[in-house]
Amino acid sequence: MNPNHSAGPRLRSDVLSRTIMTSKILRTIVGMFILLSWMSHVSAQQKYDLLLKGGHVIDPRNKVNAVRDVAIVDGKVAVVAAKIDPAEAFKVVDVSGYYVTPGLIDIHVHVYAGTGERGSYAGDNSVYPDGFTFRAGVTTVADAGCAGWRNFEDFKHKIIDRSKTRVLAFINIVGQGMRGGKFEQDLTDMEAKPTADMALRYPGLIIGVKTAHYAGPEWAPVERAVEAGTAANIPVMVDFGTNHPAERPLSELVTKKLRPGDIYTHVYSGLRNEQLESGQVNPALWEARKRGVIFDVGHGGGSFVWRIAVPAMKAGFIPDSISTDLHIGSMNAGMKDMLNVMDKFLAMGMSIDEVIQRSTWNPAREIKHEELGHLSPGAVADLAVLKLEKGNFGFVDIYGARLRGTQKLTCELTLRGGKVVYDLNGMTRPDWDKLPRDYRRTGNARWDGVSPAQSTTNPR
C-alpha cells in the first residue's frame, strides 16, 4: 500500500485552508483600512470640539454685537462667524435667544478661605471661589488683598492651585494680609520691598497691590503700596479705610497719590466724600478719571448705596469695572453675585453691551491680562451664555433700599478653557428617555468639564 496515497487531498485541503485564512486576513485589513479612513474623514469633518450656535455674541474688544456662531478647539476660541457648519463640530449646542460673552472677570473678591481663622479675610470671612463663580458666568477672579507677602504662598497652596476658577491676586501691603484690626493697623508691617519681591516672584499671578481698612490719618499705607506697585510694575487698588477729610482727603488721593492705572474701589459707597453735600459727584473724581485713575464698583456688604450711585450715573460718572467684593458678609445681602451687580447697572440705564464691557474687557486690561476678556481666535475659551429675563424685579443696596427694574441676567452655561463647567438647564445634555436603559455618564472629555467620562452613546 502506498503510504502517500492520501497526501494529495490533504495538501489541497491545507492550501484551501490557507487561502481562506489569507482571504479573511485581507478582508480584515481592508475593513480596518476603510474604518480608519472613515474615522479620519469624520475627524477631519469634526475639526471643532464644541460649537455654540446662533447666540447673540457681545465681545466689546472686537466690537462684535450680533448673532454669531462660536467654534472651540483645544480649549481655545477657533472661529467666530455668522455661519459655521455644524458637521464640523463634535458637539453642537443651540444657544439661540441667549447672549454669548467672554467669561466674566470679577476683580474684587475675598477667597482666602480654609485657614480656620475667625473674623479674618485670611480665613473665615472669605469664601471658596468655585461655589460662587461659574454659576454666575465668572471664570476669573482677583482676590483683593487677603494675603500679604508673609502668607501669600499659603494662599496659593490652599486656594489658587486647587481652584477650577482662575484665581489671581492683589497682594496686601500689610505683610500679614487682611487678618483684621491689630494686623491691618500695624504700619511697621507695611513694607514695600518684600511686597514687591513677592509680586515679582509670581508675575501674572499677583496682578496688583492692595491697601485697605486703614483707620489712621497717615498716608503711609497708600505711599508704600504705590512704591511696591511701581517696583513690580503693577497697579494699586485702594479701599480708603476710615475717612479723614482733613489729613488725607479723597481729592489728594485720586489726583496726586495714585498713578494712572491705579484703582479706586467702592466708588459708590459715599463713605469718603465721593458725593458732595449738593448731591454732585466730587469734582476730584472727574479730574482723576482724566489722568487715568480707574474707578471700580466693589459692591460688598457696605459699599454700594442707591442715593450715591443713581445721581452719579445720571451725571455720567459710570464705573470702569463692575465687581462684587464677594465675602461672607456680602454674598446673601444686598449683593448676591456678579450678575446681580451687573443687573443693578442695567436698572440704572446702562446698556447690556456697556455692562458686559465693564465685566470682561475693561477689568482684563486693568489687571494687565489682555489675553482674557474677549473672543478673538486663539483666545482661551472662557465664555458665559446668559439669558436676559424680562419682568418685575427688585435690586437692593447695602442698607436694604430697593430699586425696581424690568430685566435681569441669568447664567445658563459657563465654559472654562473650552469645557462646560456649569449648565443650569442641561442644554448640553440628551433627554434621558432617548438614552439606553443602562445609560451612565453622557459627557465627553472634548467638551465636558463636569462629567467628562467617554460616553457610550457619543452624544452630539
Mean pLDDT value of segment 233-252: 98
Is there a domain that residue 88 lies in? no
What's the CA gap between 122 and 110, in Å, rounded?
A: 8
Helical (H) or strand (E) element with 210: strand 206-211
Statement to judge: residues 158 and 13 lie in one domain: no
Statement to judge: residues 182 and 286 lie in one domain: yes
**Closest alpha carbon to 154 in 187, 177, 132:** 177
- Domain extent for 27: 1-45
Mean pLDDT value of segment 240-264: 98
Statement to judge: residues 126 and 38 lie in one domain: no
Give me the CATH number covering residue 401.
Answer: 3.20.20.140
Which pLDDT band holds residue 1 (cuts at 50, 70, 90)?
very low
What integer pLDDT is reported at residue 7 of this predicted model?
52
The percentage of the chain sitting over the pLDDT mark of 90, rounded to a whole number, equals: 87
What integer pLDDT is reported at residue 16 of this predicted model?
47
For 21-32, what is each residue's pLDDT tens digit? 555 555 545 444
What integer pLDDT is reported at residue 120 of this predicted model?
98
Statement to judge: residues 263 and 135 lie in one domain: yes
Statement to judge: residues 285 and 371 lie in one domain: yes
For 262-289, what is each residue's pLDDT tens digit? 999 999 999 999 999 999 999 999 999 9
Which pLDDT band holds residue 38 (cuts at 50, 70, 90)?
very low
Q: What is the DSSP string of 53-118?
A: EEEEEEEGGGTEEEEEEEEEETTEEEEEES---GGGEEEEEE-TTSEEEEPEEEEEE-----S--T
Is there a domain that residue 149 lies in? yes
What integer pLDDT is reported at residue 42 of this predicted model?
45
Is there a domain that residue 270 lies in? yes
Exposure string of 176-191, with b = 16+ CB inside 10 Å and e = fewer, is bbbbbeebbbeeebbb
Mean pLDDT value of segment 409-418: 98
Grid cell of 150 as nine digits: 508673609
Is there a domain that residue 360 lies in? yes
User: Residue 458 pLDDT more than 80?
Assistant: no
Statement to judge: residues 242 and 390 lie in one domain: yes
**Closest alpha carbon to 360 in 326, 330, 317, 323:** 323
Torsion 298-148-171-242 (CA) sign? positive
User: Residue 298 pLDDT more than 50?
Assistant: yes
What is the chain's Cα-based Rg? 29
What integer pLDDT is reported at residue 13 of this predicted model?
52
User: Residue 9 pLDDT more than 70?
Assistant: no
What integer pLDDT is reported at residue 33 of this predicted model?
47
237 versus 43: the higher-pLDDT residue is 237
Do 44 and 84 form a contact (C-beta atoms < 8 A)? no
> Among 369, 395, 411, which residue terminates a domain?
411
Statement to judge: residues 32 and 133 lie in one domain: no
Statement to judge: residues 206 and 283 lie in one domain: yes
Do 140 and 168 form a contact (C-beta atoms < 8 A)? yes
What integer pLDDT is reported at residue 452 of this predicted model?
73
DSSP state of 257: I
Alpha helices by DSSP H, listed for 120-189, are 152-158, 181-184
Grid cell of 367 as nine digits: 489687571
What's the CA gap between 448 and 365, in Å, rounded?
A: 29
What integer pLDDT is reported at residue 45 of this predicted model?
73
Is there a domain that residue 175 lies in? yes
Mean pLDDT of the chain: 92
User: Residue 15 pLDDT more than 50?
Assistant: no
pTM of the model: 0.90
Is there a domain that residue 192 lies in? yes
Number of domains in the chain: 2
Mean pLDDT value of segment 49-73: 98
Q: How far from 101 is each of 176, 225, 426, CA to CA, in Å?
A: 37, 34, 19
Statement to judge: residues 28 and 142 lie in one domain: no
User: Residue 443 pLDDT more than 60?
Assistant: yes
Statement to judge: residues 18 and 158 lie in one domain: no
Antiparallel, parallel or unpaired: β 99-102 and 263-264: unpaired
Is there a domain that residue 54 lies in? no
What integer pLDDT is reported at residue 451 of this predicted model?
83
- Cα 6 from chain centroid (whole Å): 82
For 51-62, what is each residue's pLDDT tens digit? 999 999 999 999
Torsion 380-385-388-393 (CA) sign? negative
Is there a domain that residue 5 lies in? yes
Other Cβ atoms within 10 Å of 204 Cβ, number: 11
Statement to judge: residues 10 and 136 lie in one domain: no
Statement to judge: residues 39 and 113 lie in one domain: no
192-201 helix and 220-232 helix, angle to the nearest 10 degrees? 30
